[in-house]
């Protein structure tokens, strides 16, 4: 059943400037959670406060419009008389009511990352209701550097009279930024100043999308972030991730065992070259029988945490130990999580999961290498860990909204939805261009 777009009045589209992105946001994204979570922060009495959705939608424009180069530029654009569609979108038709850029910084500071996480989790729940959009059974985890907006070297920024003798610590212009190490790339320094963004990524029909992220100092080991990210993921409630694909930076027997036992999430990784392979396994990490034949995986019992294998029937027929062999072997996951886990090493299922991890790495590389208006020169425009965390939560949030809108267009709306809106716009332009009868 197609939506009859002509049945809706012109003013419905005209107030939003016939902008398909803004129209689809209003129609298919419920941001009432913003009011629910942020309104209690307002004090009673005084002038009526600005609707928190105004600030929220201003950030949506900032993160999704390439012509917006800064928060100051965003406010200048909104104050331009020709951008009445944007003002209608954020809920302030009057130019005098457009908030100043400093109020956006105050908004992010007062809301705090914890409330932004709650808003993000509500949007993820909305995304889960879309048919065939998020595929949460399999997720990936990875990290990438975040370059801080710092100038010059470290220096003392205290107010002491004699900075040469005081014991105050030298810092960058961003006091929380630190030196980190990144992969060697062409025309790129091995070291960087900033943070590291650790994210959990979920597959969608249009490629991986970031669900949530944590910003930490760049010298934090990847393995120290695995369990905190899984705990944060469990706060969503409706989202159930069974398998989490990771690179060798998250290679830890203790953490992988705790992830499965405590959180029911199986972490899938390859194993390092210097890993001690248990006796009875091939060099590829596949269990073998006493005769030296590779066993066939038969399943994993999550109640007893036992990985079961059977003998290969084709090999068992000619095996001299056929009469004494049990042909079924059980291995304890807690004995060796790397080789006796829910996903056996070297299996086709593991290979498919590791290929998804490659997609995650490519998606992160694309995000890291972007030189767009929002992350100009790849430097984050805010400072301190808390502000950077809020900034990237909103960035992930609006990328998810963009993917949701695109999915609705692909699966629910008519194929010519965007073209139809443009046709209505042209019709109105032609009508307004007609000469007035004298």
Q: What is the pLDDT of residues 173-218, one digit of tens each?
A: 888 999 888 876 545 678 888 999 999 999 898 888 999 999 999 9
Q: Is residue 197 part of a domain?
A: yes
Check whether residue 110 and residue 48 sit in a common domain. Answer: yes
Q: Is residue 394 part of a domain?
A: no
Check whether residue 199 and residue 234 sit in a common domain. Answer: yes
Q: Is the pLDDT of residue 373 over 60?
A: no
Res. 322 pLDDT band, cuts 50 70 90: confident
Task: Identify the pLDDT of residue 278.
Answer: 85
Total domain count, the chain: 3
Check whether residue 30 and residue 60 sit in a common domain. Answer: yes
Q: What is the mean pLDDT of residues 205-234?
A: 90
Check whether residue 245 and residue 281 sit in a common domain. Answer: no
Top-confidence residue, 319 or 130 = 130
Q: Is residue 391 part of a domain?
A: no
Check whether residue 158 and residue 220 sit in a common domain. Answer: yes
Q: Provide the 3-class DSSP secondary structure of residue 58.
A: helix
Q: Is the pLDDT of residue 119 over 90?
A: yes
Q: Is residue 437 part of a domain?
A: no
Q: Structural domain of residue 102, as residue ranges?
A: 5-120+403-432
Task: Identify the pLDDT of residue 105.
Answer: 93
Q: Is residue 396 part of a domain?
A: no
Check whether residue 234 and residue 379 sit in a common domain. Answer: yes
Q: Is residue 167 part of a domain?
A: yes
User: Which of 107-111, 165-169, 304-308, 406-410 comes out lowest in average pLDDT?
Assistant: 165-169
End of a domain among 344, 362, 391?
Answer: 344
Q: Using an 8 Å Cβ cutoff, are 10 and 424 in contact? A: yes
Q: Is residue 422 part of a domain?
A: yes
Q: Which of 229-238, 272-281, 345-354, 395-404 has the highest mean pLDDT?
A: 395-404
* Domain CATH for 225: 3.30.420
Res. 368 pLDDT band, cuts 50 70 90: low
Burial of residue 153 (CB within 10 Å: 0-12, 13-18, 19+) is exposed
Phi and psi (nearest 5°) for 20? -65, -35
Contacts of 392 (CB under 8 A, 6+ apart): 146, 197, 213, 215, 380
* Positive/negative CA dihedral, 105, 107, 113, 118: negative
Task: Identify the pLDDT of residue 12.
Answer: 63
Q: Is the pLDDT of residue 128 over 80?
A: yes
Q: Is the pLDDT of residue 72 over 90?
A: yes
Q: Is residue 307 part of a domain?
A: yes
Check whether residue 154 and residue 199 sit in a common domain. Answer: yes
Task: Identify the pLDDT of residue 6.
Answer: 45
Task: Identify the pLDDT of residue 371.
Answer: 44
Check whether residue 258 and residue 281 sit in a common domain. Answer: no
Q: 185-205 as b/e, with b when 16 or more CB fall inside 10 Å?
A: eeeeeeebbbbbbbbbbbbbe
Q: Is the pLDDT of residue 9 over 70?
A: no
Top-confidence residue, 132 or 435 = 132
Check whether residue 314 and residue 334 sit in a common domain. Answer: yes
Spatial CA neighbour of 232 closest among 206, 207, 250, 214: 214
Q: Is the pLDDT of residue 233 over 60?
A: yes
User: Which of 87-91, 228-232, 421-425 comes out lowest in average pLDDT?
Assistant: 421-425
Check whether residue 355 and residue 220 sit in a common domain. Answer: yes
Check whether residue 142 and residue 97 sit in a common domain. Answer: no
Check whether residue 231 and residue 157 sit in a common domain. Answer: yes
User: Which of 6-10, 15-19, 109-113, 216-220 comes out lowest in average pLDDT?
Assistant: 6-10
Q: What is the mean pLDDT of residues 314-336?
A: 82
Task: Identify the pLDDT of residue 327.
Answer: 81
User: Which of 1-15, 279-293, 347-361 comes out lowest in average pLDDT?
Assistant: 1-15
What is the average pLDDT score of the chain?
Answer: 85
């Amino acid at each position: 059943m197609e939506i009859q777009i002509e049945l809706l009045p012109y003013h419905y589209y005209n107030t939003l400037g016939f902008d398909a992105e803004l129209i689809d946001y209003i129609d298919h994204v419920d941001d009432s959670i913003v009011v629910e979570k942020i309104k209690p922060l307002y004090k009673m009495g005084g002038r009526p406060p600005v609707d928190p959705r105004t600030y929220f939608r201003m950030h949506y424009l900032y993160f999704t419009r390439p012509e917006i180069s800064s928060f100051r530029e965003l406010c200048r654009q909104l104050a331009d008389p020709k951008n009445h569609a944007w003002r209608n979108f954020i809920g302030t038709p009057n130019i005098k009511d457009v908030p100043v850029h400093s109020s956006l910084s105050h908004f992010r500071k007062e809301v705090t990352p914890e409330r932004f996480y709650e808003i993000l989790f509500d949007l993820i729940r909305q995304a889960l209701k879309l048919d065939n959009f998020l595929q949460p059974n399999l997720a990936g985890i990875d990290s990438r550097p975040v370059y801080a907006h710092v100038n010059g070297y470290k220096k003392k920024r205290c107010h002491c009279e004699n900075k040469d003798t005081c014991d105050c610590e030298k810092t960058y212009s961003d006091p929380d930024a630190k030196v980190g190490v990144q992969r060697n790339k062409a025309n790129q320094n091995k070291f960087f100043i900033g943070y590291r963004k650790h994210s959990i990524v979920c597959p969608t029909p249009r490629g991986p999308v970031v669900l949530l992220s944590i910003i930490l100092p760049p010298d934090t080991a990847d393995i120290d972030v695995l369990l905190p990210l899984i705990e944060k993921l469990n706060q969503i409630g409706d989202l159930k991730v069974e398998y989490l694909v990771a690179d060798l930076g998250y290679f830890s027997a203790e953490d992988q065992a705790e992830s499965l036992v405590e959180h029911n999430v199986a972490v899938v990784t390859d194993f390092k070259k210097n890993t001690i392979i248990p006796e009875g396994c091939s060099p590829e990490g596949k269990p073998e029988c006493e005769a030296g034949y590779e066993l066939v995986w038969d399943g994993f019992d999550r109640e007893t945490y036992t990985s079961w294998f059977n003998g290969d029937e084709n090999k068992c027929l000619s095996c001299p130990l056929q009469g004494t062999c049990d042909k079924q072997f059980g291995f304890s996951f807690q004995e060796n999580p790397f080789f006796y886990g829910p996903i056996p090493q070297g299996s086709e299922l593991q290979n498919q999961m590791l290929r998804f991890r490659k997609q995650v790495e490519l998606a992160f590389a694309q995000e890291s290498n972007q030189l767009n208006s929002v992350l100009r020169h790849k430097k984050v425009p805010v400072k301190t860990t808390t502000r950077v965390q809020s900034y990237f939560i909103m960035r992930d949030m609006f990328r998810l909204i963009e993917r949701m809108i695109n999915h609705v267009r692909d699966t629910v709306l008519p194929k010519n939805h965007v073209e139809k809106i443009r046709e209505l716009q042209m019709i109105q332009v032609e009508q307004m261009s007609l000469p007035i009868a004298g």
